[in-house]
Amino acid sequence: MPPIPRSEKDSRVYVGLTGLLGAGKDTVGKMMADLATAHKVHVRCYNLSDEIRDELIRRGQAGDGASRSTLIAVGNELRATFGGGVLAERIIAKERAHIVENGRPDLVIAAGIRNPEEVKTFRKEWGGPFTFIMVAVESFPEARAIRLTARSQYREDAISSSEVEQADQAIGIDACAQMSDWHIRNDGGVEQLQADVYDFFARRIAPVLGIAVPDA
Protein backbone atom coordinates (compact mmCIF):
# COMPACT_ATOMS: atom_id res chain seq x y z
CA MET A 1 0.00 0.00 0.00
CA PRO A 2 1.66 3.29 -1.10
CA PRO A 3 2.02 6.08 1.46
CA ILE A 4 -0.53 8.90 1.33
CA PRO A 5 1.04 12.37 1.22
CA ARG A 6 0.42 14.29 4.42
CA SER A 7 -1.13 17.18 2.49
CA GLU A 8 -3.86 14.88 1.14
CA LYS A 9 -4.92 13.23 4.38
CA ASP A 10 -4.96 14.06 8.06
CA SER A 11 -1.57 13.04 9.45
CA ARG A 12 -2.65 11.91 12.89
CA VAL A 13 -3.35 8.34 13.98
CA TYR A 14 -4.96 7.27 17.26
CA VAL A 15 -4.72 3.66 18.40
CA GLY A 16 -6.75 2.11 21.22
CA LEU A 17 -5.61 -1.18 22.77
CA THR A 18 -7.82 -3.68 24.57
CA GLY A 19 -7.23 -7.20 25.84
CA LEU A 20 -7.51 -9.45 28.86
CA LEU A 21 -4.94 -9.42 31.64
CA GLY A 22 -1.66 -10.92 30.44
CA ALA A 23 -2.58 -10.73 26.75
CA GLY A 24 0.26 -8.31 26.08
CA LYS A 25 -1.40 -4.91 25.61
CA ASP A 26 1.48 -2.97 27.14
CA THR A 27 4.04 -5.00 25.18
CA VAL A 28 2.22 -4.33 21.90
CA GLY A 29 1.90 -0.65 22.77
CA LYS A 30 5.63 -0.36 23.47
CA MET A 31 6.56 -2.23 20.29
CA MET A 32 4.26 0.06 18.31
CA ALA A 33 5.70 3.19 19.93
CA ASP A 34 9.30 2.05 19.44
CA LEU A 35 8.65 1.23 15.79
CA ALA A 36 7.01 4.59 15.21
CA THR A 37 9.83 6.45 16.96
CA ALA A 38 12.37 4.62 14.78
CA HIS A 39 10.56 6.13 11.79
CA LYS A 40 10.77 9.61 13.38
CA VAL A 41 7.09 9.64 14.32
CA HIS A 42 6.15 11.80 17.34
CA VAL A 43 4.32 9.46 19.75
CA ARG A 44 2.38 9.97 22.99
CA CYS A 45 1.20 7.02 25.07
CA TYR A 46 -1.54 6.73 27.68
CA ASN A 47 -2.96 3.95 29.83
CA LEU A 48 -6.47 4.08 31.27
CA SER A 49 -5.30 2.37 34.46
CA ASP A 50 -2.99 5.33 35.07
CA GLU A 51 -6.06 7.56 35.21
CA ILE A 52 -7.35 5.45 38.10
CA ARG A 53 -3.96 5.71 39.83
CA ASP A 54 -4.07 9.49 39.39
CA GLU A 55 -7.53 9.51 40.98
CA LEU A 56 -6.16 7.60 43.97
CA ILE A 57 -3.35 10.15 44.33
CA ARG A 58 -5.91 12.98 44.24
CA ARG A 59 -7.66 11.20 47.11
CA GLY A 60 -4.44 11.09 49.08
CA GLN A 61 -3.86 7.38 48.54
CA ALA A 62 -0.98 5.47 46.98
CA GLY A 63 -1.32 5.26 43.21
CA ASP A 64 1.65 3.21 42.01
CA GLY A 65 1.32 0.63 44.77
CA ALA A 66 -2.43 0.18 44.45
CA SER A 67 -3.64 -3.42 44.33
CA ARG A 68 -5.53 -4.70 41.33
CA SER A 69 -8.68 -5.05 43.43
CA THR A 70 -8.43 -1.36 44.39
CA LEU A 71 -7.96 -0.30 40.78
CA ILE A 72 -11.01 -2.31 39.73
CA ALA A 73 -13.16 -0.92 42.56
CA VAL A 74 -12.19 2.72 41.96
CA GLY A 75 -12.54 2.36 38.20
CA ASN A 76 -16.04 0.96 38.62
CA GLU A 77 -16.89 3.74 41.04
CA LEU A 78 -15.76 6.39 38.55
CA ARG A 79 -17.78 4.79 35.76
CA ALA A 80 -20.87 4.56 37.94
CA THR A 81 -20.55 8.20 38.98
CA PHE A 82 -19.42 9.91 35.78
CA GLY A 83 -20.35 7.44 33.03
CA GLY A 84 -18.68 4.53 31.28
CA GLY A 85 -16.42 6.77 29.18
CA VAL A 86 -14.96 8.80 32.05
CA LEU A 87 -11.41 7.42 31.80
CA ALA A 88 -11.35 8.05 28.06
CA GLU A 89 -12.65 11.58 28.64
CA ARG A 90 -9.82 12.26 31.07
CA ILE A 91 -7.21 11.06 28.58
CA ILE A 92 -8.77 13.19 25.85
CA ALA A 93 -8.60 16.23 28.14
CA LYS A 94 -5.01 15.43 29.03
CA GLU A 95 -4.08 15.10 25.35
CA ARG A 96 -5.67 18.48 24.59
CA ALA A 97 -3.52 20.05 27.30
CA HIS A 98 -0.40 18.33 25.94
CA ILE A 99 -1.13 19.70 22.47
CA VAL A 100 -1.18 23.23 23.84
CA GLU A 101 2.05 22.74 25.78
CA ASN A 102 4.02 20.33 23.59
CA GLY A 103 2.46 20.30 20.14
CA ARG A 104 0.39 17.73 18.31
CA PRO A 105 1.81 14.20 17.99
CA ASP A 106 1.57 12.05 14.88
CA LEU A 107 0.53 8.94 16.84
CA VAL A 108 -1.39 8.61 20.11
CA ILE A 109 -1.68 5.20 21.79
CA ALA A 110 -4.28 4.59 24.52
CA ALA A 111 -3.92 1.18 26.21
CA GLY A 112 -6.10 -0.58 28.75
CA ILE A 113 -9.53 0.06 27.23
CA ARG A 114 -12.09 -2.14 29.00
CA ASN A 115 -15.51 -0.57 28.52
CA PRO A 116 -17.48 -0.12 25.26
CA GLU A 117 -18.30 3.46 26.29
CA GLU A 118 -14.57 4.17 26.30
CA VAL A 119 -14.35 2.98 22.70
CA LYS A 120 -17.34 5.15 21.74
CA THR A 121 -15.86 8.18 23.51
CA PHE A 122 -12.52 7.85 21.73
CA ARG A 123 -14.19 7.30 18.38
CA LYS A 124 -16.40 10.36 18.86
CA GLU A 125 -13.42 12.58 19.68
CA TRP A 126 -10.71 11.03 17.53
CA GLY A 127 -12.76 9.55 14.70
CA GLY A 128 -14.28 11.47 11.81
CA PRO A 129 -11.59 13.55 10.10
CA PHE A 130 -9.00 11.89 12.35
CA THR A 131 -8.08 8.21 12.37
CA PHE A 132 -8.91 6.05 15.40
CA ILE A 133 -8.05 2.35 15.14
CA MET A 134 -9.24 -0.02 17.85
CA VAL A 135 -6.91 -3.02 18.31
CA ALA A 136 -7.64 -6.15 20.36
CA VAL A 137 -4.62 -8.06 21.68
CA GLU A 138 -5.60 -11.70 22.18
CA SER A 139 -3.89 -14.73 23.68
CA PHE A 140 -4.82 -18.21 24.89
CA PRO A 141 -5.46 -18.57 28.65
CA GLU A 142 -2.43 -20.83 29.09
CA ALA A 143 -0.07 -18.24 27.59
CA ARG A 144 -1.58 -15.45 29.68
CA ALA A 145 -1.23 -17.54 32.85
CA ILE A 146 2.48 -18.15 32.16
CA ARG A 147 3.11 -14.42 31.70
CA LEU A 148 1.25 -13.51 34.87
CA THR A 149 3.16 -16.13 36.86
CA ALA A 150 6.45 -14.80 35.51
CA ARG A 151 5.46 -11.28 36.53
CA SER A 152 4.43 -12.46 40.02
CA GLN A 153 1.72 -9.84 39.76
CA TYR A 154 -0.48 -11.29 42.48
CA ARG A 155 2.12 -12.19 45.07
CA GLU A 156 0.94 -9.36 47.34
CA ASP A 157 -2.52 -8.85 45.89
CA ALA A 158 -5.70 -10.24 47.40
CA ILE A 159 -7.32 -10.86 44.03
CA SER A 160 -6.53 -13.70 41.63
CA SER A 161 -6.00 -13.44 37.87
CA SER A 162 -9.24 -15.35 37.25
CA GLU A 163 -11.14 -12.83 39.39
CA VAL A 164 -9.56 -9.96 37.46
CA GLU A 165 -10.60 -11.58 34.18
CA GLN A 166 -14.17 -11.96 35.45
CA ALA A 167 -14.17 -8.32 36.54
CA ASP A 168 -12.85 -7.15 33.15
CA GLN A 169 -15.50 -9.17 31.35
CA ALA A 170 -18.18 -7.67 33.59
CA ILE A 171 -16.91 -4.17 32.69
CA GLY A 172 -17.24 -5.04 29.00
CA ILE A 173 -13.84 -6.07 27.68
CA ASP A 174 -15.30 -8.78 25.41
CA ALA A 175 -17.51 -6.16 23.77
CA CYS A 176 -14.44 -3.96 23.24
CA ALA A 177 -12.78 -6.81 21.36
CA GLN A 178 -15.86 -7.21 19.20
CA MET A 179 -15.76 -3.48 18.41
CA SER A 180 -12.10 -3.64 17.36
CA ASP A 181 -10.88 -2.88 13.84
CA TRP A 182 -7.78 -5.07 14.07
CA HIS A 183 -6.80 -8.16 16.06
CA ILE A 184 -3.27 -9.14 17.09
CA ARG A 185 -2.62 -12.60 18.52
CA ASN A 186 0.14 -13.04 21.08
CA ASP A 187 0.73 -16.79 21.24
CA GLY A 188 3.75 -17.31 18.99
CA GLY A 189 6.65 -15.71 20.82
CA VAL A 190 8.32 -12.31 20.69
CA GLU A 191 9.54 -12.50 17.08
CA GLN A 192 6.08 -13.38 15.79
CA LEU A 193 4.51 -10.60 17.84
CA GLN A 194 7.03 -8.10 16.51
CA ALA A 195 6.20 -9.22 12.96
CA ASP A 196 2.47 -8.80 13.58
CA VAL A 197 2.94 -5.34 15.09
CA TYR A 198 5.12 -4.40 12.12
CA ASP A 199 2.40 -5.61 9.75
CA PHE A 200 -0.19 -3.47 11.54
CA PHE A 201 2.12 -0.45 11.46
CA ALA A 202 2.87 -0.92 7.76
CA ARG A 203 -0.76 -1.41 6.76
CA ARG A 204 -2.67 0.98 8.99
CA ILE A 205 -0.34 3.66 10.38
CA ALA A 206 2.42 4.24 7.84
CA PRO A 207 0.11 4.99 4.87
CA VAL A 208 -1.76 7.68 6.82
CA LEU A 209 1.46 9.32 8.00
CA GLY A 210 3.06 9.15 4.56
CA ILE A 211 5.79 6.74 5.66
CA ALA A 212 7.24 4.21 3.22
CA VAL A 213 8.22 1.02 5.03
CA PRO A 214 9.68 -2.12 3.41
CA ASP A 215 7.76 -5.37 3.43
CA ALA A 216 8.51 -7.57 6.41
User: Tell me: the pLDDT tens digits for 106-142?
Assistant: 999 999 999 999 999 999 999 977 789 999 999 988 8
Q: Which residue has the higher pLDDT, 39 or 163?
A: 39
Residues contacting residue 31 through CB under 8 Å, at least 6 positions apart: 193, 194, 197
Q: What is the pLDDT of residue 102?
A: 86
Average confidence score pLDDT of the chain: 87
pLDDT at position 2 over 50? no
> What pTM, to 2 d.p., does this model score?
0.88
Q: What is the pLDDT of residue 157?
A: 52
Q: To the nearest whole percent, how much of the chain has pLDDT over 70?
A: 90
Q: What is the pLDDT of residue 80?
A: 96
Q: What is the pLDDT of residue 6?
A: 40
Cβ(10)–Cβ(208) under 8 Å?
yes
Nearest 10 degrees: Cα torsion 56, 18, 32, 161: 70
pLDDT at position 152 over 70? no
1-5, 35-39, 42-46, 80-84: segment of lowest average pLDDT: 1-5
pLDDT at position 191 over 90? yes
Q: Which residue has the higher pLDDT, 170 or 40?
A: 40
pLDDT at position 9 over 50? no
pLDDT at position 10 over 90? no
Q: What is the C-alpha to C-alpha distance for residues 173 and 167, in angstroms, rounded to an integer?
A: 9
